[in-house]
Amino acid sequence: MYLKSALACSLLFVTACSETQADETGGDNLLPTAAIVKVAEQSSPKSKTVAALYDRSCRTCHSLENSGAPLTGHKGAWKARLDEKGMEELITSTKDGYNAMPPMGLCNDCSDDDFKALILFMAGDEK
């Protein structure tokens, strides 16, 4: 009985620590495509205000393939998060910190509207 419980816990731990990212069509892929990595590395918001916030607070993690953060422009990964949690919960997770992301995502002066604009940009749905 103990062995079964230990194996189940180990499997749960490994599953929780490995992030499956969806591809741009929403399918399950473990890694983003090279095209998505390139988009993440090169994208900038249209708004100068949002771009400044993104560059100082988000770009470092959301443009690096192995950071554990969903990549900017990886529409499938962001869609999965938005479908599962919704915008309000993603904003709350950003404010509280989530996994390796520190509270406020290193943007202590960001408002909820700023976070929404940043999330929409990273999700590929910039207004």
Q: What is the pLDDT of residues 43-85, one digit of tens each?
A: 999 999 999 999 999 999 999 998 999 999 999 999 999 999 9
User: Residue 22 pLDDT more than 50?
Assistant: no
Please tell me the total number of residues recorded for the chain in this structure. Answer: 127
- What residues make up the domain containing 100? 2-122
Judge whether residue 18 has pLDDT over 80.
Answer: no
Residue 93 resides in a domain:
yes
Of 73, 87, 66, 59, nearest to 22 (Cα)? Answer: 73
Kindly report the CATH number assigned to the domain that includes residue 59.
Answer: 1.10.760.10
Q: Is residue 80 part of a domain?
A: yes
Nearest to 111 by CA among 119, 102, 122, 123: 119
Residue 20 is classified by DSSP as P
Is pLDDT above 90 for 123? yes
Q: Please report whether residue 75 resides in a domain.
A: yes
The Cα–Cα gap between 3 and 22 comes to 33
CA 19 to CA 111: how far, in whole Å? 28
Q: Count the domains in the chain.
A: 1
Does residue 127 belong to any structural domain of this protein? no
Residue 3: the pLDDT is 40
Instruction: Give me the half-sphere count of Cα atoms (radius 13 Å) on the Cβ side of residue 74.
Output: 30
Residue 32 lies in a domain: yes
Per-residue model confidence (pLDDT) at position 125: 87
| Within-domain flag for 96 | yes
User: Is residue 70 domain-resident?
Assistant: yes
23: tokens are 């591809």
Instruction: Let me know if residue 114 belongs to a domain.
Output: yes
